Amino acid sequence: MKASLQRFFLSFSSSAVMSMVGVSSALASDIGGIPNVPGASSGDLRGAVTSVLNTVVNFLGLLMVVAIVVAGFRLVLSQGEEEAKEKAKKGIFYAIIGLVLVLLAKAIILFVTNAIN
């Protein structure tokens, strides 16, 4: 029973993440004929680096949220086993710390980008 629940939650989480990938690529499709598209850089290295950094930070933020959800499922599925419960709590704690660090990195990127411009 426990293994089947874990497989269900893992497949649900992975399918939710994979469905987000399809949405982002659909939103990025080229519709053409629009000058000065926001976020598009015209050969500017700063714009390209900022865009890559923002993409990496956003992906890491999503990864931390998924880690929190997975650790939460592990906590629920620990069924009173103290060792598994403590391991899940540590996972949630470290994932929250990771999310805070990702948010701080995002703030630093925004600050530096605004200071340069």
Please write the tens of the pLDDT for every residue from 51-105.
Answer: 888 889 889 999 999 999 999 999 999 888 999 999 999 999 999 999 999 999 9
Q: Whole-model pTM? A: 0.58
Q: How far apart are alpha carbons 115 and 63 in whole angstroms? A: 28
**Structural domain span for residue 99:** 50-117
Task: Look at residue 27 and tell me if it is in a domain.
Answer: no
In a domain, 11, yes or no: no
What is the number of domains present in the chain? 1
Query: 95 phi and psi, to 5 degrees?
Result: -70, -35
Residue 99 contacts residue 78 (beta carbons within 8 Å):
no
With cut-offs at 50, 70 and 90, classify the pLDDT of residue 110.
confident
Residue 104 included in any domain: yes
